[in-house]
Amino acid sequence: MIFPDNGVLQNFPSTLMHRNTTIFTIDGIDGTAQQAIQDLIDARHQVQDRVSAPLKGMESELFAKFQPLDSLRPKLRVTFGRAKRDGTYDWPIEEVINTLGAQQRNAPVAPLHGFGYRKSALGLIQEFFIFTKMLDGYLNGLEWLKQEQDIQNLIAVSFKLLHSLHSKGIAHMDFWANNVMINAQQPTQAKAIDLENCFLTPTDYLTEVLAFQFGFYYRREIFRFVIEQDYDRMVQEALGQYDGIDSGRFDEIYASSKHENISRRARREIFHKGTVITG
């Protein structure tokens, strides 16, 4: 595999090889972890779907995400380190780069432990694995809400996490309740997951990015639990933490993002150009 950023591999010096699969990890793999990963590889050998689940059989569990690359083009791109036409990389590469970058900035995210891939007989990568450390004692936002029935606190802690990410220069463009992991014992603390659709570079359009993020957070399930006017009020309060927000520009994209679908490609337009295409 040719990784687009050679510096990434330097952070994962330990290697495990099993069958036609190579796994890179941030530190040494003990016998228990090695067996758990090998069992996962054996179980995945004939499976053709995307799965995210804890990696069992370890004292300190990892969370594993694995998905086949479903066609020739992504297989070629990932194998040879090529970008798509729009300059982005396929989801596993983006997630590894973004999660590692966020981790190096001490951002509140699930730490990346390792990643790897399984090759076909022709030498093309056909499946990608990502391992993060389990967030013991944390629940995703919707699971936490089922237990606590406190939508106001869920929104407040999510907005606090969003601001923390921005303070580290991270724009999470898939920011919704299930990507917010809340500490069940200390519910004012939260961490973000699933960073494949993020930017770690500055934007000239913070107003528009925030408008999308707040609107998208409402659209993805939260609208079921809160009166829209109450949510709008909490958004206005949260905006007080950011400098230079243009209310006119904010309101237009915020309204669209609350009620219309914004594709992942369109989210890139918001970040880079400050414009939104709905549909």
Q: Are 68 and 127 in contact (CB under 8 A)?
A: yes
User: What's residue 46's pLDDT?
Assistant: 55
Better-predicted residue by pLDDT, 46 or 211: 211
Instruction: Indicate the class that CATH gives domain 138-273.
Output: mainly alpha
Confidence of residue 7 (pLDDT cuts 50, 70, 90): confident
- Provide DSSP, 190-201: EEE---TTEE-S
pTM across the whole model = 0.91
Apex 168 CA angle, 167 and 170, nearest 5: 100
Q: Check pLDDT > 60 for residue 59.
A: no
Query: Across the chain, what does the average pLDDT equal?
Result: 90
Q: What is the pLDDT of residues 203-241, one digit of tens each?
A: 999 999 999 999 999 999 999 999 999 999 999 999 999
Task: Give residues with Cβ within 8 angstroms of 229, minimum separation 6.
Answer: none
Neighbours of 71 (CB within 10 A): 8
Average pLDDT over residues 80-103: 91
Which of 129, 128, 137 is CA-nearest to residue 113?
Answer: 129
Q: What is the pLDDT of residues 114-137, one digit of tens each?
A: 999 999 888 999 999 999 988 889
Q: Check pLDDT > 70 for residue 57.
A: no
User: What's residue 58's pLDDT?
Assistant: 55
Neighbours of 96 (CB within 10 A): 25
Average pLDDT over residues 253-274: 94
In the sheet that holds 190-192, the strands lie side by side as 138-140, 180-183, 190-192
User: What's residue 249's pLDDT?
Assistant: 94
> Between the CA atoms of 30, 31, 32 and 36, what dihedral angle is there, to the nearest 10 degrees?
100
Which of 265, 135, 158 is CA-nearest to residue 214?
Answer: 158
